[in-house]
Amino acid sequence: MERQRFDVIIIGAGHAGLEAALASARMGLETLLLTLNLDSIGMMPCNPAIGGTGKGHLVREVDAMGGEMGLAADDTLIQMRMLNTSKGPAVHSLRAQMDKRRYHERMKRAVETQPNLTLVQGEVTEILTENGSVSGVRTDEGFDYACRAVVLCSGVYLKSRILIGEWSRLSGPCGMLRSEGLSDALKNLGIPLQRFKTGTPARVRKSSLDLDEMEIQRGDEPTPAFSFLNGRLHIEQDPCWLTYTNEKTHEIILKNLDRSPMYAGRIHATGTRYCPSIEDKIVRFPDHDRHQIFIEPEGRTTEEMYVQGMSTSLPADVQVDMLHTMPGLRHCEVMRLGYAIEYDCLVPNVLNLSLMVRDVPGLFTAGQVNGSSGYEEAAAQGFYAGVNAALYVKGEEPFFLGRSDAYTGVLVDDLATKGTPEPYRMMTSRCEYRLLLRQDNADLRLTERARRLGLITDERYAVLQRKKEGIARAVERLGTHVPPSDALRVYLESVGESVPASGVKLFDLLKRPNVRYTNLLNLFDCLEPLEPAVEEQIDVMAHYDGYIEKQTEQVRRFLAMEETPLPQDLDYSTLDGLRLEARQKLNAQRPENLGQASRISGVSPADVGVLLVYLKRGLPHA
């Protein structure tokens, strides 16, 4: 049979694979999306939520560049909250509770109706190459599909194993089939693998809960949206509930630690530091007499409730007993048990900064197969890899986002440059320029760049232009000098601000901590009402003006080193002055620029200084 031919093939239809496939197809490439099971497209095997601290930034960035996650989340969420509102805007992050089934259906419909995109159920067992470059894939049924680029988005399915107490099964999440052949296929291509582990809590039946014993958690009103196209949402929101573990809960867990696969030595994979199991919490924080547990609905048409904060792989009887110790859960019926899942993933240092395997041209990887965790990290990588796979096929330069451009750039750089010894989770603390890379300005940072890739619709571009024009008009009007007045004096005294002795520029008034644009609008006719997104930008620009200017200067200095390219054929062993470890690490990872070289573990500031000296003299080529 003649092989079917595509430009780009995506393996896996989770959050990474969906964004990769849609980006490739929207850039005009004939794209094939292969998945183990059509019923698992866009599945949320763990928490029924999108966003969160740092993660919400990634969703906004994907949306700003024309991705699908933010739009799909807005269409199918059942509650939205803005996190960290007591802190500065750099760490504000949206988090939405999702209707998991509707999200799956919404994403499945998106890929089914996308031009240039073919959707097929099948298991890939081999990645085909010719002269060292990707040439296609082979499925377990024996079908061969030819292509010029592959994006591997296999999630946690590579030789995965589920564990609950002493019981285990060779399976993917939620009882899905696992991928049997791809691990060996990657090894045959010389790609090193590692073994990671994650987990999920039990699901309990809503009608069996005593909700009045728990604290209700409602969504925000007015309701913000992930997508820059949507502004404010008008939906009926469902609540979540908060309860706590207690001394009895901890006693049951500690008494049965030897029955936990992790503590019994039955799991040899590395777990996630920032989403520990309840067993780990109790052991690592013995001074805590209780831990927060959130009860979250999995959708509007199901009784299943997710027990957030209680991930576990303890045996079934222990899970039931410990749940029954907590307020609101004393009579709960367990519908699904919590479990641990271990799986293969690649060592991401083999990737370059476009998420392509350096030694296998045309092979891109994204999502949890790269050692990351989370739906949002997967979606951001999938979008980025899908774009770069399309550009690779077109013979164009890669799309690059650096650490000063986007959280996506930080994510990619951390994985490709530093690698990760445990499941990687995006956090605001990982981003050194987070005041500039806020979630509220992702469109201002990234939409123009994605427009050049052909990923931005006229509608989205018009929304961006309207926002930019609104900001420009507001800044111009805030340049107005106003004289002292009784109305201004009364207002400033009411908010605890000093009264200027002479005329003052409105923008300088807005810089004061307790002054907001809305208040000035009521005092001065020269100002006009602003759209919420524009007003948000103006308030941030004024209140953080000095800090933004300082961080902008830091970025300028950073880019001077970051953008200094290093030859890809350079033999670092020939450079005198470099330490042995630095030579080995630099030859192994082939950094693309001096900034990336400086972040490789084992390359010291002194080694970077040596490279700078050679750069000034002219580096030798291999």
* CA quadruple 441, 447, 450, 454: dihedral, nearest 10: 160
- Residue 544 banded pLDDT, cuts 50, 70, 90: very high
The string of pLDDT tens digits covering residues 334-371 is 999 999 999 999 999 999 999 999 999 999 999 999 99
Q: What is the pLDDT of residue 14?
A: 98
Comparing CA positions, the residue from 71, 18, 79, 83 lying closest to residue 44 is 18
Rounded to 5°, the CA angle 442-448-452 comes to 135
Rounded to 5°, the CA angle 204-205-209 comes to 95
Cα–Cα distances (Å) from 449 to 15, 357, 461, in that order, read 22, 24, 11
- Residue 622 banded pLDDT, cuts 50, 70, 90: very low
- Residue 621 banded pLDDT, cuts 50, 70, 90: low
Query: At 410, phi and psi to the nearest 5?
Result: -65, -45
- Residue 3 banded pLDDT, cuts 50, 70, 90: low
Q: What is the pLDDT of residue 560?
A: 80
The string of pLDDT tens digits covering residues 268-322 is 889 888 889 999 999 999 999 999 999 999 999 999 999 999 999 999 999 999 9
The string of pLDDT tens digits covering residues 436-462 is 999 999 999 999 999 999 999 999 999
Query: At 202, phi and psi to the nearest 5?
Result: -75, 160
Whether 162 contacts 341, CB under 8 Å: yes
| Residue 1 pLDDT greater than 50, yes or no | no
- Whether a cis peptide bond, with omega within 30° of 0, leads into 222 is yes
Name the one residue in this structure whose structure tokens are 């900001």: 471
State the CB neighbour count (10 A cutoff) for residue 358: 17
> Which of 390-399, 574-583, 609-618 is predicted least confidently?
609-618
Rounded to 5°, the CA angle 14-393-36 comes to 25
Whether 64 contacts 39, CB under 8 Å: no
% pLDDT > 90, the chain = 87
The string of pLDDT tens digits covering residues 198-231 is 999 999 999 999 999 999 999 999 999 999 999 8
- Is 1.10.10.10 the CATH classification of the domain at 469-553? no
- Residue 264 banded pLDDT, cuts 50, 70, 90: confident
**Architecture in CATH of 203-342:** Beta Barrel (2.40)
Predicted TM-score of the model (pTM): 0.94
C-alpha 13: how far from chain center: 16
Measure the CA–CA gap between 96 and 106, rounded to whole angstroms: 16
Q: What is the pLDDT of residue 620?
A: 64
Please give the average per-residue pLDDT across 458-467, as a whole number: 97
Query: At 223, phi and psi to the nearest 5?
Result: -90, 115
**Architecture in CATH of 564-617:** Orthogonal Bundle (1.10)
Rounded to 5°, the CA angle 314-315-321 comes to 90
- Residue 617 banded pLDDT, cuts 50, 70, 90: confident
Comparing CA positions, the residue from 312, 311, 296, 332 lying closest to residue 48 is 296
C-alpha 140: how far from chain center: 31
Please give the average per-residue pLDDT across 533-537, as a whole number: 95
Whether 154 contacts 369, CB under 8 Å: yes
Domain-wise residue ranges, the chain: 4-197+345-441, 203-342, 469-553, 564-617
- Residue 578 banded pLDDT, cuts 50, 70, 90: very high
Measure the CA–CA gap between 51 and 93, rounded to whole angstroms: 7
Q: What is the pLDDT of residue 602?
A: 85
Measure the CA–CA gap between 278 and 322, rounded to whole angstroms: 10
Write down the CATH superfamily of domain 4-197+345-441: FAD/NAD(P)-binding domain (3.50.50.60)
**Coil, helix or strand for 558?**
helix
**Coil, helix or strand for 88?**
coil
Write down the H helix ranges in 47-152: 55-64, 69-76, 100-112
Looking at per-residue pLDDT, the higher value among 564 and 228 belongs to 228
The two beta strands, 149-152 and 8-11, are: parallel
Cα–Cα distances (Å) from 198 to 46, 182, 470, in that order, read 10, 20, 45
For the chain, how far is it from start to end, CA to CA, in angstroms?
44
The string of pLDDT tens digits covering residues 140-186 is 998 999 999 999 999 999 999 999 999 999 999 999 999 999 999 99
Comparing CA positions, the residue from 504, 487, 490 lying closest to residue 542 is 504
